[in-house]
Structures are given as C-alpha cells and as structure tokens.
C-alpha cells in the first residue's frame, strides 16, 4: 500500500510503525554491507593497482623479449614458432561470493606450458624463443589476474553504487516519510482524541443541564 | 663419393668464386655506417647494393623493418641458390645437404600452416626457399589441403625417410615437434655421412660439425633443464643430436647431476669448456677467464634453472665462425670455403635483420652490437 493511502487510524499507525522498523533494520544492514564492500573495494583496488603495475612491467619485458627474438631469429622465426602452438591458451570463468556480490574468478587454462607442450621443435628453435614464450606466458597470466581483479572492482563499484542509492533512499526518503507519516497520524489521532474528549464533555454538560431543568 | 678428393679445375674455380664472394660481404666499417642510419636510410643504402636490389621491388608491399627483413631473406635465398648453381658435382651435393636446414624450416611451416588452417599467403611470406626445394615445389605444397598430401608430395626429398613414419599420425598434438627434431637429427646424420665419404677438407668439416653438434646439444640441455618441471629423460634423448664429440651418455649424466663439484668435473671433460672460456674472454675482454671459470658460470645458470645468456650464445657463434674461417683458409680448395661463405652470408642477413629490428624497437646501438656476428 502506498504511504499516501495509509489512513490515520490505529491500524495505519501500526502499518507505519512496522514499516519503519523494517526500513531501519534494512538501513542498518545495508549500511553494514556498504562499509564491508568499501573495505573490500579498498583491498581489491590496492591489489588491482599492484597487479596493473606488474602487468605493465611484464608487458615491457615481453615486448623487449619479442624484440630480441625478432633480432636473433627474425620475425619469420618468431612467427614460425607461434604457428606451432597446438593448444590455445584460455581461462575458465567462475565466480566468488563477496557480500552477496558475484566477483569474477578466472582460472588460466593451458597458459603456462612446458617446452614439450609448446609445439615447436627444440632443435629448430633457440633459447630466445623459449624466453619470448615464457615472457608472453607470464604476461598472459598477469592479464587474466588483472582482468579478474579489475572486473571485481567494477562489479563492486556497481554494487556499491546500487547499495548507496538504496541506503540514501532509505535514509533521506523512506524513513523521513514514514517518520512524517507517523507524526501526522499521531497528530491526527491526538486531534481526534481531543475532539472526542471535547465532544464527550460537551454532551456531558448538555446532559447535566437537561437534568437540572428536569 | 669423392668430394674434391683430387682437386679438379672446376672445384678450384668454384672455391675461388666463393672466396671472392666472401670478400664482397659487408665489412665491420659498413656495419658501423649502417648502425648510424635510420631505417629509411638503411633501406636506401641497401637498395644501392647489388646484393639487396630486391628491396625496391618489395617496397610497395612492405615497409620499415619488415621490408628490410623480407629483402634480406630473399637475397639470402637467391645467394644460396646461386651458390648451389656454382658448386660443381659432389660439392653441389654437399652444399645441397648443408642447405637442407632451410628446407626443413619451409616444410615444417607448410605442414603446420596446412593443419592449423593458416592463410596460404601468410605461410608463403614465411618461406625462405634457400634450400633444394625450390619456390615452384613449395607453391605446389602450399596448394595441398591435407597433411598426408604434403608428405606424399615430398617423397623425392632427401629427408623424406624421417617423415614417412609420421604419415598416419600427422597433425596430432606434439607430432610436429617430434618430426622437426627428427628432421634435424637426420640432417646432421646425412651431413656427417656425406662428409665421412671422403673429400678435401672433409675431416675438418666433420670436426667442425661435431663441434657444432656439441654446442647445440649443450644449449638444448640447458633449455630443457631450466623448465619449471623437470622433463623426462626420453625428451632429453629425443632432442639430443647424435654424432658429436661428446657422447650422449655424458649429456644424460650431466642432466641428472645436482652437485657443483661433480657438474664442474664432468663439464671440464667436455671440449665445450675451452670454447666457452674463449667466448667469454672475447665478450668481457677478460684475459684471465679460464675453463674452470666457464664451468662455474654454466653451473650457476644450471643450478638456478636459467637459460643460456643470449650475448654469450652470440659470442660462441662468433668463435664457431672464426674456427670455420681459419679452417677455410687452411684448406682453400675444399668444401670449407663454400660452407664458410654460406655461414657468413647467413649471419650477414641475420646482422642486417638484427639492426633493422633493433632500431624498430628503439634499442640503443650498443645493445644491438651485442647481437651482431662478425
């Protein structure tokens, strides 16, 4: 029932009181959730920033290794080694639950490989190709870890935004409206009680006057 | 077979031509000049050279470092094919055998491209027809759709016996790596077999090939050892090339060693130790660097599961080429001047490619110099 349609009766007052108790409890819970999510966000953001810095370093290293591999083996040699890849690296998507928010949990699959699993022959390549492959495997792992953390930060931010809107709505709209409604109902009920009391006194006086006349 | 056993006039003529060709390769000064140039200036400079005229024809399709790499690759293929044409009789056979490594790279690229559905044009750009398999045959192979068809078309190739047994399982996971390793083992076995048949300079060639095999085996052993998970000894067996001075049993023993003293004592038994010491002496300008120091250096990297240092690998390549040069000077009318030219040309192309790629990636000149072999 919309708040405007609640009648200034005892039942209406009970409804408002019940709603207020519920709103206050929800507000308290959501505030706690918001605080928890904020703490988690700070922790996750720090980790994501560290991971991003590491990713940038690994990217620079991988570029340098690719440059050295291209210098020693030529782009042709590097491409031939790249052509040998038989299992495409990927990840399995999952999720973990933090304060009811589904944060991504990505598991790298076939990213880090042994020399035997890479698909190229040992005799047809040199150690610089291994170094470049290692550097790119590290980079790929860091990309997946970074995507997991940054995806988590994004999800948490969205959820924090939604929760904050709810907390604010409860704090600045729903609860003040209910408080106001309760005040109006109580005032109206007091007014009605006073009217009733006055009416009864009036009737009592009239009855007393009639009794005197008789 | 007698390769230049009795030195024939045609052999003397061919060897002289190869020696003349070697003198036309880029000098240290030329590299210094090129190092000071920007990439467009290098392109212009190479365009003026007789050996690299292809660069102007390719300028429409490629640019920058890619253009230089394509041009030097084509120049390499042309030079090697012309070398094959010059080499007379049995020298031609040995040159063909020596250049078969380019055929292996081309065949493996085609096989992998066919199985993994890589666009034909992309594979064609990767091929360097510097061996016996000419462009026409490689183009025909590129048009085939199945791995089996490619193998069937290679029946006349000298390394086909190594491929034949993989006909049924071609394309399965891990098979190409095994094929590639086996082809290279077959390649060295063929070369050693041909050299053993007797020719002028063949004894020296065999010694040189054994030395190259030892170095390759040691490098690959370090590569296998540095992997995070220890690999199976069968992988070590599969990737070692037989025929070197150092028996494979010694490499197998080395692979299982865990203590410094034992490692150093085994390493010092190998002929690689003095070569490595010489390479480090030249690289670091340190005249006191001994074989024991070299063994300790290798142990440190071995113990920490690290791969060979690239600069050191290049230094060893320099030592190897110096050895080849001195052998070719001692035996001027043998197979050695031909192979010395082929190796020098190969590294000239590698040097130009390294300069172009290094400049494209913005590496400083002194860093690029470490990858130049002169």
Distance, in angstroms, between A159 CA and closest chain B CA? 41
**Among candidate residues B199, B218, B251, the one where a domain is terminated:** B199
Same domain for B185 and B232?
A: no
How many domains are contained in chain B?
Answer: 2
Inspect the interface and report whether the beta carbons of B308 and A127 lie closer than 8 Å: yes
In a domain, B81, yes or no: yes
Same domain for B55 and B195?
A: yes
What pLDDT, on a 0 to 100 scale, did the predictor assign at position B300? 87
In a domain, B322, yes or no: no
**Fold topology of A9-202:** Helix Hairpins (1.10.287)
Q: Which residue of A has its CA nearest to B228?
A: A114
**Among candidate residues B286, B313, B340, the one where a domain is terminated:** B313
Same domain for B112 and B15?
A: yes
In a domain, B321, yes or no: no
Same domain for B172 and B80?
A: yes
Q: Which has the closest alpha carbon to B72: B85, B55, B50, B57?
A: B55
Same domain for B66 and B169?
A: yes
Inspect the interface and report whether the beta carbons of B361 and A63 lie closer than 8 Å: yes
Q: Which residue of A has its CA nearest to B173?
A: A86
Inspect the interface and report whether the beta carbons of A84 and B224 lie closer than 8 Å: no
Q: Which residues of B touch A80 (CB under 8 A)?
A: 105, 108-109, 112, 126
Phi, psi (5° rounding) for residue A102?
-85, 105
Same domain for B59 and B171?
A: yes
A76-97 core/surface letters (b: 16 or more CB in 10 A; e: else): bbbbbbbbbbbeebebeeeeee
Return the residue in A64, A73, A121 with the most chain B beta carbons within 10 A, the one to mutate for interface testing.
A121
Inspect the interface and report whether the beta carbons of B239 and A124 lie closer than 8 Å: no
DSSP string, B197-225: T-BTTHHHHHHHHHHHHHHHHHHHHHHHH
Distance, in angstroms, between A57 CA and closest chain B CA? 16
Same domain for B161 and B275?
A: no
- Copy the structure tokens of residue A98: 């933090």
Query: Which residue from A64, A86, A114 is facing B227, i.e. has the nearest CB?
Result: A114
CB B1 within 8 A of CB B194: yes
Instruction: Quote the CA–CA distance of B149 and B143 in Å, as a whole number.
Output: 10
Same domain for B185 and B214?
A: no
- Copy the structure tokens of residue B353: 């490619």
What 3-state class would DSSP assign to B270? coil
Higher pLDDT, B289 or A204: A204
Same domain for B136 and B264?
A: no
ipTM for the assembly: 0.87
Domain span holding position B55? 9-199
What 3-state class would DSSP assign to B258? coil
Q: Which residue of A has its CA nearest to B116?
A: A83
Distance, in angstroms, between A116 CA and closest chain B CA? 8
- What tens digit of pLDDT does each residue of A34-66 get? 999 999 999 999 999 999 999 999 999 999 899
In a domain, B371, yes or no: no
Inspect the interface and report whether the beta carbons of B358 and A71 lie closer than 8 Å: yes
pTM above 0.90, yes or no: no
List helix spans (H) across B26-63: 28-36, 39-48, 54-58
pLDDT in tens, chain B (374 residues): 444 555 677 888 888 888 888 888 889 999 999 999 999 999 999 988 888 888 888 888 888 899 999 999 999 999 998 888 888 877 888 888 889 999 999 999 999 888 888 888 888 888 888 888 888 999 999 888 888 888 888 888 888 888 888 877 877 888 888 899 999 999 999 989 888 877 766 788 888 889 889 999 988 888 888 776 666 777 788 889 999 888 888 888 888 888 888 888 888 888 888 888 888 888 888 888 888 888 888 888 888 888 777 888 888 888 888 888 888 888 888 888 888 999 999 999 999 999 999 999 888 888 888 888 87
In a domain, B124, yes or no: yes
In a domain, B159, yes or no: yes
Phi, psi (5° rounding) for residue B153?
-75, -10
Same domain for B34 and B171?
A: yes
- Copy the structure tokens of residue B79: 């030079």
Q: What is the domain-level CATH number for residue B147? A: 1.20.1690.10
In a domain, B358, yes or no: no
In a domain, B318, yes or no: no
Burial level of A131, CB count in 10 A (0-12/13-18/19+)? buried
- Copy the structure tokens of residue B362: 């913005």
**Among candidate residues B291, B313, B335, the one where a domain is terminated:** B313
Same domain for B156 and B214?
A: no
Q: Is A76 on the interface with B (CB under 8 A)?
A: yes
> Residues of A numbered 142-181 whose beta carbons fall under 8 angstroms of chain B's beta carbons: which are they?
none
Same domain for B214 and B185?
A: no
């Amino acid at each position: 029932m919309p708040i405007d349609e609640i009648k200034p009766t005892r039942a209406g007052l009970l409804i408002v009181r019940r709603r207020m108790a519920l709103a206050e409890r929800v507000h308290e819970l959501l505030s706690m959730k918001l605080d928890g999510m904020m703490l988690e966000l700070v922790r996750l953001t720090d980790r994501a920033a560290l991971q991003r810095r590491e990713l940038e370093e690994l990217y620079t290293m991988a570029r340098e290794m690719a440059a050295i591999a291209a210098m020693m083996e030529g782009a042709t040699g590097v491409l031939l080694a790249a052509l040998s890849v038989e299992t495409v690296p990927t990840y399995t998507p999952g999720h973990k639950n933090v304060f009811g928010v589904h944060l991504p949990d990505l598991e790298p699959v076939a990213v880090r490989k042994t020399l035997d699993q890479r698909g190229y022959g040992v005799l047809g390549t040199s150690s610089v190709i291994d170094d470049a492959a290692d550097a790119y495997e590290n980079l790929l792992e860091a990309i997946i870890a970074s995507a997991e953390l940054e995806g988590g930060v994004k999800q948490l931010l969205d959820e924090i935004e939604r929760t904050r809107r709810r907390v604010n709505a409860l704090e600045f709209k729903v609860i003040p409206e209910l408080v106001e409604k309760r005040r109006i109902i109580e005032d109206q009920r007091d007014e009605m009680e006073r009217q009733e009391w006055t009416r009864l006194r009036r009737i009592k006086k009239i009855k007393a006057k009639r009794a005197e006349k008789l | 077979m007698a390769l230049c056993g009795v030195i024939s006039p045609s052999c003397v003529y061919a060897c002289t031509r190869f020696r003349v060709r070697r003198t036309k390769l880029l000098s240290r000064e030329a590299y210094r000049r090129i190092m000071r140039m920007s990439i467009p200036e290098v392109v212009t400079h190479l365009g003026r050279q007789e050996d690299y005229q292809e660069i102007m024809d390719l300028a429409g399709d490629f640019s920058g470092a890619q253009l230089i790499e394509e041009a030097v690759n084509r120049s390499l293929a042309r030079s090697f094919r012309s070398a094959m044409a010059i080499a007379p009789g049995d020298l031609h056979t040995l040159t063909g055998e020596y250049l078969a490594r380019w055929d292996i790279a081309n065949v493996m690229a085609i096989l992998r491209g066919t199985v993994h559905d890589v666009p034909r044009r992309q594979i064609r750009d990767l091929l360097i027809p510097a061996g016996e398999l000419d462009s026409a045959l490689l183009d025909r192979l590129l048009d085939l759709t199945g791995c089996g068809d490619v193998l069937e078309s290679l029946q006349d190739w000298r390394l086909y016996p190594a491929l034949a047994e993989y006909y049924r399982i071609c394309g399965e996971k891990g098979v190409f790596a095994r094929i590639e390793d086996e082809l290279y083992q077959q390649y060295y076995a063929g070369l050693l077999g041909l050299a053993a048949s007797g020719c002028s300079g063949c004894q020296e060639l065999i010694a040189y090939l054994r030395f190259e095999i030892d170095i390759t085996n040691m490098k690959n052993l370090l590569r296998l050892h540095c992997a995070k998970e220890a690999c199976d000894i069968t992988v070590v067996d599969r990737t070692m090339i037989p025929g070197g001075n150092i028996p494979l049993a010694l490499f197998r023993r080395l692979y299982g060693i865990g203590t410094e003293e034992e490692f150093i004592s085994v390493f010092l038994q190998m002929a690689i130790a003095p070569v490595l010491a010489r390479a480090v002496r030249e690289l670091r300008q340190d005249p006191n660097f001994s074989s024991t120091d070299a063994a300790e250096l290798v142990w440190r990297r071995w113990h920490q599961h690290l791969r060979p240092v690239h600069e050191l690998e290049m230094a060893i390549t320099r030592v190897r080429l110096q050895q080849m040069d001195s052998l070719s000077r001692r035996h001027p009318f043998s197979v050695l001047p031909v192979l010395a030219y082929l190796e020098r040309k190969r590294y000239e192309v590698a040097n130009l490619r390294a300069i172009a790629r290094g400049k494209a990636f913005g590496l400083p000149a002194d860093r690029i110099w470490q990858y130049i072999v002169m």
